[in-house]
Chain A
Amino acid sequence: MKRVYVKEEACMGCGLCRVYCLAEHSRTRDIIKAFKRESPRSLPRIRVERNGEVSFSLQCRHCDEPWCVYSCFTGAMYIDEVTGAVAVDAEKCIGCWTCIVACPYGALTRDRDRKVVAKCDLCPGNDVPACVANCPNEALVFAEDGKAGQLVRN
């Protein structure tokens, strides 16, 4: 399936991906209104990690063997049959946050206002997710690939 990959050597840790992610998931989809007018403010679904010279952004890896899905007891987390992406059904989610403990990447966020988990949805409707489209140094790529995350060891 298609995922977002980061080229750590190109990532500057500027955080614009996070800004555009928030805007994309806002009601108005307007970057200024999203930050200054909307309340509650929408949530970014991407983290920016920085440690000294190292920086990279990170969002849901859409694992082939997703611990979050396996750990979800409401059935809210699921693998989309068509795209293979890890998705959440907000109607079913009760905000128990078991998925957050299960995710090795810290890629899931609590939406405390709606009491549901918020995660990367790869920006449905866009050719390319907002984080990728707005990275000033082309550190993010949206590409087809093999796997991420392993449960079964042969």
Chain B
Amino acid sequence: MGKKKAIRTEYLLIGNSAGGIGAAEAIREVDKRNSIKIVSDEPYQAYSRPLISKYLAGERNVDEMLFRPADFYSRNGIDHLLDRKVEHLSLDRRIAQLASGEQIIWKKLLLATGGVPIVPKMKGGDKEGVFTFLALKDAIAINAFIEDDSQAVVIGGGLIGISVTEALMKRKAGVTVVEMKDRVLNTILDETASSIAEEALRQAGVRVVTNQTVAEVTGGDRVDGVVLDNGERIRCDLVVIAIGVLPRIELVSGTDIKVNRGIVVDRCMSTNYPDVYACGDAAEAYDFIYGANRLTPIWPNAYIGGRVAGYNMAGVRAEYRGGTAMNSLNYFGLDIATAGMVVPPDDRHWEVVSQRNNGAYQKIVLNDDLVMGMVFVKDIEKSGMIFSLMKDRVKVTNFRQALLADDFGLAYLPRELWQECLGTVPAGSTSAFGMPAKAEEPISSE
């Protein structure tokens, strides 16, 4: 490809998803003038990655998956370079080399490159009919491949595995989920919640196989089945690999940028390299439950991290309060909210309060009167208040008894806290009737 002239930009954002858009929006709040370029190797305007399952299910088309309006880029003066891959970064010269031959010179750089699927080495894994499920192109490929009575094996009973399973079931495929551990959704749910989820899967007609993994994919050019570790053969037409996601760090590995499991960032979402920031699934940022940097590959953390990065890139200091694994799931008609450590790591100093009735289940994990984890199944309305206690590191000493009570609410919190939630009534404000509202004088019984 012919060498083109380098273009300059104030802000270069690699990744046009939760993190990249979060940063772009924050930058535009405080800097309306300087140029923003956002590059993606995917050919679409920013779309919602979690919605690829709705696409596969036939419930959303691509336009309906866009999480910002069609004129988002033009209205905000953002250059979007789609279907363009950044191949190499020259950090000291601040040059991004694109596969198209273009070069972009940045002043501030954001790496919001997301993740790559983990693909295990297994015999036959390269056959036609083996898919991953991380990008819209994967959903498009599966959509083109399946037929009404297709049989599928989904490897991995985590969030992505369950999400693709639901979509396949809606497409009238038969699905077997193969999970290596002893229960589905084992990283985000405790045993009880996992068993409730597994029951919902079974009710929907999904076969769940635990403590097994796929040793081999069989067939000619095309998949015709799998063989499990225990030797069992399952006939199938397609295999979806959904065992996990790893940070996409190809651009920085071997450079001076510090990488642990993901790109290491501080509370400003800045890497150790000047003017280079990172966020989202690619980054390892502060987790307030573990009190350390961790991978927390969820949408809200990517977006909020991107926002914090964006402000800092634009010279407005902002701090990431930290994120933790938090998920709201509703597959197979079951609502589940979960966050933090749902199983205490050891017996010391930990306390668990839980209750179960009418198919609902709630559990809160405490350590030293701090909420460290939660699982809510079916009745999830109060989960936000509990998650907030977790996030704000509020000691629940004086109201821990009430946490799972039916009428639990902000009113059980210390007065200063709920007052802060309500906000102060602006001085001099009037009531609906134009009268300054006032409290009654207390009437004493004496």
Q: Which residues of A contact B (CB under 8 A)?
A: 3, 5-10, 47, 49-51, 54-56, 58, 61, 67, 70-75, 92, 94-98, 100-106, 108-110, 128, 132-133, 135, 137-148, 151-154
Contacts and interface: CB of A to CB of B under 8 A. Distances in A.
A75 B68 contact: yes
Secondary structure type dominating chain A contacts: loop
14 contacts: A9-B439, A10-B438, A51-B411, A61-B423, A94-B54, A95-B330, A100-B328, A101-B327, A101-B328, A106-B381, A109-B381, A141-B425, A145-B423, A154-B318
Contacts of B412: 51
Interface of B: 18, 22, 48-51, 54, 64, 66-68, 299-300, 303-304, 307-308, 311, 316-319, 321, 326-328, 330, 335, 337, 339, 380-385, 387-388, 391-392, 407, 409-412, 415, 418-419, 421-426, 429-433, 435, 437-440
Given A50-B411, A51-B412, A73-B51, A97 B337 contact: yes
Contact of A106 (B51, B321, B409, B419): B409
B298 to A, nearest CB: 9
B322 to A, nearest CB: 12
Nearest to B417: A104
B414 to A, nearest CB: 11
A109 B426 CA distance: 27
B382 A106 contact: yes
A49 B409 CA distance: 6
B330 A96 contact: yes
B432 A110 contact: no
Given A104-B384, A152-B319, A5 B328 contact: no
Given A106-B382, A143-B426, A49 B387 contact: no
A77 B188 CA distance: 25
Contact of B67 (A50, A61, A75, A152): A75
Given A98-B328, A151-B304, A138 B431 contact: yes
Contacts of A49: 409-411, 418
A154 B315 CA distance: 12
A106 B384 contact: yes
Nearest to B50: A73
A132 B432 contact: yes
Nearest to A54: B411
Contacts of B409: 47, 49, 51, 58, 106
Contacts of B339: 101
Given A10-B440, A110-B381, A102 B387 contact: yes
Given A98-B299, A101-B387, A109-B381, 7 more contacts: A8-B419, A8-B422, A73-B18, A75-B66, A101-B339, A102-B387, A148-B423
Contacts of B318: 151-154
Contacts of A73: 18, 48-51, 67, 299-300
Contacts of B432: 128, 132-133, 135, 138, 140-142
Contacts, number: 179
Given A100-B381, A104-B421, A141-B431, A10 B51 contact: no
A24 B54 CA distance: 33
B326 A141 contact: no
Contact of A100 (B317, B380, B426, B438): B380
Nearest to B17: A73
A52 to B, nearest CB: 8
Contacts of B381: 100, 106, 109-110
Nearest to B22: A70
Contacts of A70: 22, 300, 303-304, 307
Most A CB atoms within 10 A — which of B311, B339, B423?
Answer: B423
Nearest to A139: B437
A100 B421 contact: no
B443 to A, nearest CB: 14
Contacts of B440: 10, 137
A5 B423 contact: yes
A98 B387 CA distance: 11
Contact of A5 (B50, B380, B407, B425): B425
B321 A153 contact: yes
Contacts of B326: 101-102
A8 B420 CA distance: 12
B422 A56 contact: yes
Given A58-B410, A71-B300, A101 B426 contact: no
A94 B48 CA distance: 12
Contacts of B392: 104
A6 to B, nearest CB: 6
A133 B421 CA distance: 22
A135 B396 CA distance: 32
A68 B426 CA distance: 24
Nearest to A57: B422
Given A51-B411, A110-B335, A151-B321, A144 B22 contact: no
B328 A97 contact: yes
Given A94-B51, A153-B321, A105 B431 contact: no
